[in-house]
Structure 1
Amino acid sequence: MTAPITMFGPDFPFAYDDFLSHRAGLGAVPAAAHGTEIAIIGAGIAGIVAGHELMKLGLKPVLFESDRIGGRLRSEPFKDGAGAYAELGAMRFPPSSRALFHYFDKVGIETIGFPNPLAPDTPSTVIELGGVKHYARTKDDLPKRFAEVERAWAEALEEGAHYGELTAAIRARDVATIKRLWHHLVESLDEESFSGFIANSKAFRELGFRAREMFGQVGFGTGGWDTDFPNSILEILRVVATGADDEHRLVVGGVEQLPRRLWALVPEVMAHWPSGTSLASLHNHVPKPGVAKIAPGTTKKFAITDRYGTTTEYDAVIVTCQVWLLSARIDCSESLFHHDLWMAMERTHYMQSSKTFVMVDRPFWRDVDPATGEHALSMTLSDRLTRGTYLLDNGEDKPGVICLSYTWSDDALKWLALPLDDRVRLMLHSLRQIYPTLDIAQHIIGAPITVSWESDPNFMGAFKANLPGHYRYQRRLFSHFVQDDLPEPHRGIFLAGDDISWTAGWAEGAVTTALNAVAGIIRHLGGTAHPENPDPIDRWSDLAPVRLVE
């Protein structure tokens, strides 16, 4: 059998899934360190995973949270919605996210197929471009031009990125081949944008501008790619080569269950703490308030001041919030990080993202018009304001949910200043142009739910997406957990979260960087990984991302 594609590298090809499942565990700290308090800033999935694993080691994680547990794993229930909810942050999860799925399995999360365009779990898809509507149940129902564009993308990947050889190496976990191929791509493509990569490919040059425009509007997999066109092509290659854009799963009942169940989970095996201990019980069931200040301590290494002015000192800190907050929202002492790392944090480029959901009386989109044989409403990709419309079926006897619009970057900014009712009105107007005889509004029940992550002061953006030339910055951020060569004042504070990872925007990156930070904490307190289960620090010299000349 062919091995499954996983998020194994390509920048740092460490097998986090094997590391997590190993019977020896993640390591140990000296008994004298048991009970040591470790501050964790942010109770999103990175903070919760880090806290869970540190607690198992016998340490006392102290989580600070400015809003609510879960971060951008946020499942917002509709009021009186019989269990219906809106996934405001991450909502589709590739099985290649093996570290993430380790925790799904640990807490009993159930997933089903996500209704992406033309996916097996999608009854039908409508693509509307330039006022022309195409209805399809499979790719074969689309005009020939779509297949030509899809083929051009495949050829561009092969021509410019040795795609077949790279993905085969990732499947086989062939570290030597991955490093050889990826190091060459980093050196040759770091300054290349996504749009430049496809425009310079032979296949897209032959098809012309309209084909690139169609690819940007429609894409293949989750939908259009044009909001990513200014970003580094390396960002896109990481996504497609590791299967991050394929076979997505939806969490039954909402993905926020993951951080909340881990928060309450009592580990079967745990050092130091009595039976029945959980993160929730260590915190009296509520995280500490959000952080206002991080500074050098007097009796311990770090002083953390919460939003109400209470200061407590800690031997070590993990920071999982988005890095912009360390200069824009948190008074973080400049002395805690080297100026090159501050530069990397300040140059981080975040994507905007907007979603608007409505609850409807039933999944009426499954109704079939006897005259045309088409569904009343389909998963819809459009060049209109809505861009992507997704249909979430909770069962025939339950209210359904429509994500009227899911947008990024400039498309998301178009909605930013508009109040909720205006958003819904304009979205329904756009969809009415595509489905002129369908009255979606008559099916809407309850109050709509919307989000613009860039306007949330606790996030200031949805997820990182590196621009061309930003590889060196990302390497500085990712590498920060390996601290042997850092000056003493810079040791003991660790960065984690998806924007520290190579796969920002995917929960897998938040999980794996949390595990990196845990490895750093173990070393900082005089501990080690188990010799039978080397951790990311043990493997750093062999697997470290290529370093470009500065």
Structure 2
Amino acid sequence: MNAREADVIVVGAGLSGLIAAREVLRAGREPLVLEANDRVGGRILTEEPVPDVFLELGAQWIGDTHHRMEALASELGIGLYQQLEDGDTSYEFGGRILRGEAFHSAYADEVAQVERVLRTLDAMAESVDVAAPWAAPRADEWDRISVGQWYDQQGLSAVGRELLEICTVGILAVPTVEVSLLGLLVNVVTCGVTADLLSESEGGAQTKRFVGGTGQIPQRLADELGERVVLESPVLTIDVGDGVVTVGCRGGLVAKGKQVIVALAPTLAGRIMYDPPLPGVRDQLTQRLPQASAHKSFVLYDEPFWRDEGLNAQLISDAGPARMSNDSCMPEGDGGPGIILAFLEGENARVQGRWPDEQRQAALRDELVRHFGPRAAKPELIVEGAWVERQWTRGCYNANPGPCGWIHFGASLAEPIGPIKWAATETALAWSGYMEGAVDAGQRAAREVLADLG
């Protein structure tokens, strides 16, 4: 039997777990990080299919108010560059494709409807305390209805309703009928306002990228921790005894510590066997926090030809298979291929994401031709990432409870259970669901264990 000891055992070497471990180490305590996968990063994954071309199959952007991530990138010596937004977006509704101002003119009423709904959400979110959303004055009412049901009550046209669906699924990666209205408001309040959450332009959540790829961040954090990070060690059991936490892994590794941070998405944390068993309310919570469905498709061309036509590689479509896309090229001035990133999220990830690769990619090429012209028909390479197929993730981007999840079980999401503390971006009070939230959660969990260690 292989045995290790540390002050704090961290389960999961995603961004949240690595941040927590580093905070523990800097406080003069010994962490040990146990990771099921053969790599670090969790929901951060960068691939380099051709030299100097970095594709973010996982987390990709930060926003203008993601100050923790900006500070971390600066500390680790990783540069940032702006997401390219210049040019017109291509819209497809009811078989009609319009670009930029032509769409906004033709559908001015629908755009105004969407703006009205977003401002209403902002006003509602003002009464939600992110630390206790179940205590909001109208929490019971808002948590008993899905976002989709509420949208249906807002007097929207078919196009306005579809625009809201596409934008919301682009954030949550599940159909709006599966998320409670209170759950959406929690997302809004952790991120500021809907403009911060939904916009890709100034102030939004997707304005900057990392030079050389996001995957450098967890790798450099792991390098700091050295042999304190153990890969290919799936945690099976967590036993809490008299002042000792014993963590058992597949393969025989047994780690003993005084505290443990479980830095996994809630549903994955619920697959570990705990002794004594966790309180029933915690288990009921994890049963109601499924991982979302997201599938990213990077389509590479010899150059970003769409820019010469005044386009920004963004599409918004009611037809699919991708409902949204954007320009995912390397920093301007670096040359390299033209890259369009197409998103299949929610039901599209569940349906078209399961199609045979040849069928899905043919449909995707046809869609890109409709929006960006005949040159889109012949990409040099398509690289895809289906997160539901990854054994130690089983979905992306994050997890959101359905109706009645927050009011009955939400208080258990980040509440410590003795020496067991919880991290992962879902538990964050700022930018939950993002890398910024992962850092926030890791720092909070580290503070909790350090306080208990004295």
| Off by >4 Å, runs of 4+ in structure 1 | 157-161, 177-182, 220-226, 297-300
Aligned residue number for residue 225 of structure 2: 279
What is residue 34 of structure 2 aligned with on the other side?
Answer: 64
Point out the structure with max Rg over C-alpha.
1
**CA drift at 1:59:** 1.0
Counterpart Cα distance in 2 of 1:161 and 1:346? 29
Q: Is 2:316 the partner of 1:381?
A: yes
Match of 2:394 in 1: 460
Q: TM-score, normalised by structure 2?
A: 0.85
CA RMSD of aligned residues (A): 3.2
Query: What is the distance in 2 between the residues matched to 1:44 and 1:160?
Result: 31
Deviation of 1:187 after TM superposition, in Å, equals 4.2
Please state how far the C-alpha of 1:434 moved relative to its aligned partner: 3.7
Aligned partner of residue 512 in structure 1, secondary structure: helix
Q: CA deviation at 1:254?
A: 1.4
Which residue matches 1:533?
none
2:87 maps to amino acid? P
Alignment of 1:9-24 (within 5 A): none
Residues 449-458 or 42-51, more deviating: 449-458
Matched, 1:494 2:453: no
**Residue 188 (structure 1) shift:** 3.8
2:286 alignment counterpart = 345
CA distance in 1: counterparts of 2:173 and 2:110, whole angstroms: 13
Residues 1:40 and 2:4 are matched in the alignment: no
Q: Is contact 1:90–1:507 with CA below 8 Å preserved after alignment?
A: yes
- Determine the structure 2 residue equivalent to 1:82: 51
The residue number in structure 2 matching 1:28 is none
What is the distance in 1 between the residues matched to 2:391 and 2:285? 21
User: Residue 325 of structure 1 aligns with which residue?
Assistant: 268
Between the aligned partners of 1:146 and 1:223, the Cα distance in structure 2 is: 23
The aligned counterpart of 2:214 is 255
Quickly say closer, same or farther: Cα 1:497–1:226, change in 2 above 3 A.
Answer: closer
Deviation at 1:229, TM superposition (A): 4.5
Which of residues 58, 61, 69 in structure 2 aligns to 1:100? 69
Spell out the pairing of 1:407-486 with structure 2 (5 A cutoff). Answer: 407-435=344-372, 437-445=373-381, 448-462=382-396, 463-472=398-407, 475-481=410-416
State the 1:253 CA deviation. 1.8
Is structure 2 residue 251 aligned with structure 1 residue 308? yes
Report matched runs for 1:142-541 at 5 Å.
142-159=103-120, 162=123, 166=126, 183-201=136-154, 205=155, 207-217=156-166, 219=167, 227-241=175-189, 242=192, 243-246=196-199, 247=204, 248=206, 249-264=208-223, 278-280=224-226, 282-283=227-228, 287-296=230-239, 301-328=244-271, 330=272, 332-333=273-274, 335-368=276-309, 374-375=310-311, 378-383=313-318, 384-394=320-330, 395=332, 398-435=335-372, 437-445=373-381, 448-462=382-396, 463-472=398-407, 475-481=410-416, 490-501=417-428, 503-525=431-453, 527=454
Distance 1:404 1:521, change over 3 A: closer
Distance 1:129 1:66, change over 3 A: same
Note the alpha carbon deviations across 1:69-95, whole angstroms, 9 max, x for none.
Answer: 1111211111xx231121111222222
Q: Secondary structure at the residue paired with 1:494? A: strand
Compared CA separation, residues 515 and 63, structure 1 to 2 (3 A): same
Structure 1 portions without partners, runs of 5+: 1-34, 116-120, 265-277, 369-373, 482-489, 528-550
In structure 2, do the counterparts of structure 1 residues 224 and 333 end up closer, same or farther at CA, with 3 Å as the change threshold?
Answer: closer
Shift of 1:306: 2.3
Confirm or deny: 8 A CA contact 1:235 1:466 kept in the other structure: yes
Residues 86-95 or 42-51, more deviating: 86-95
Residue in 2 that maps onto 1:272: none
Q: 1:421 to 1:92 in 2, by over 3 A?
A: same
- Shift in Å, 1:44: 0.6
The secondary structure found in structure 1 opposite 2:368 is: helix
Match of 1:358, SS?
strand
Q: Structure 2 CA distance, aligned partners of 1:290 and 1:473?
A: 34
1:275 aligned partner: none
Secondary structure class of the residue paired with 2:137: helix
> d(CA) in 2 for partners of 1:297 and 1:222?
40
Q: Deviations over 1:474-512 (max 9, x none)?
A: 63333413xxxxxxxx41111110123355421222222
1:133 maps onto 2:67 in alignment: no
Superposed CA deviations along residues 395-425 of structure 1, whole A, max 9, x for unmatched, are 4663235345212221101134334444322
Name the % identity.
20
- What is the CA–CA distance in structure 1 between the aligned matches of 2:135 and 2:117, rounded to whole Å? 16
TM-score using structure 1 length: 0.71
Structure 1 residue 224, shift from structure 2 partner: 10
Secondary structure of 1:440's counterpart equals: helix
With 89-98 and 449-458 compared, the bigger mean Cα shift is at 89-98
Read off the aligned partner of 1:88 and give its amino acid letter. L
Aligned equivalents of 2:277, 2:168: Cα separation in 1: 43
Q: Distance in 1 between matches of 2:293 and 2:172?
A: 15
Decide whether aligned partners of structure 1 residues 236 and 305 sit closer, same or farther in structure 2, where only a CA change above 3 A counts: same
Letter in 2 for 1:148: D
Give the C-alpha shift of residue 42 in structure 1: 0.8
Q: In 2, Cα distance between the equivalents of 1:259 and 1:380? A: 31
Q: 1:357–1:449: 8 Å Cα contact kept in structure 2?
A: yes
Cα 1:401/1:478, change in 2 over 3 Å: farther
In the aligned structure 1, how far is the partner of 2:433 from the partner of 2:290? 12
Separation (CA, whole Å) in 2 of partners of 1:184 and 1:473: 15
Q: Residues of 1 paired with 2:173 and 2:257: CA distance?
A: 44
Q: What secondary structure sits across from 1:439 in the alignment?
A: helix
Q: Return the offset for 1:259.
A: 1.7
Alignment check: 8 A CA contact 1:216 1:225 kept? no
